[in-house]
Amino acid sequence: MTRLVFLPHEDLCPEGAVIEVEPGVTICDAALQNGIEIEHACEKSCACTTCHVVVREGFDSMDEPDELEEDMLDKAWGLEPESRLSCQAVVGDKELVVEIPKYTINQVSERH
């Protein structure tokens, strides 16, 4: 089992969360299976950026994103070097510390 630490997010997990998951599951599926309702507007098909996360620790332990994911990430609000689409980021055997950004691109668009 691999430990995932979700940093506090005002709406999705105000206290943060620590969960144990089997390696091979995506960050998005791990979150959803543990009551963290991360947005995934494209139903996890790598066609949007609503499940964007920043992997604060353990980023290098995951497989690199493929070209499609990288192209989609370029459209993510608040992109950082350790950004991933949680629907594509597969958990390995190293602990990950994950931050869910405050806004998704959908939410930013709705505010303007």
Q: Which domains occur in the chain, in start order?
A: 2-111 (3.10.20.30)
Span 24-54, pLDDT tens digits: 999 999 999 999 999 999 999 999 999 999 9
Q: For position 106, what pLDDT does the model report? A: 59
Q: How many whole angstroms separate alpha carbon 55 and alpha carbon 57?
A: 6
Q: Are strands 2-6 and 96-99 parallel, antiparallel or unpaired?
A: parallel
Q: How many whole angstroms separate alpha carbon 58 and alpha carbon 56?
A: 7
Span 83-102, pLDDT tens digits: 999 999 999 999 999 999 98
- Per-residue DSSP letter, 78: T
Q: Is the pLDDT of residue 108 over 80?
A: no
Span 70-83, pLDDT tens digits: 999 999 989 999 99
Cα torsion through 85, 91, 95, 101, rounded to 10: 20
Mean pLDDT, the chain, integer: 92
Q: Which tokens hold the place of 94? A: 């190293």
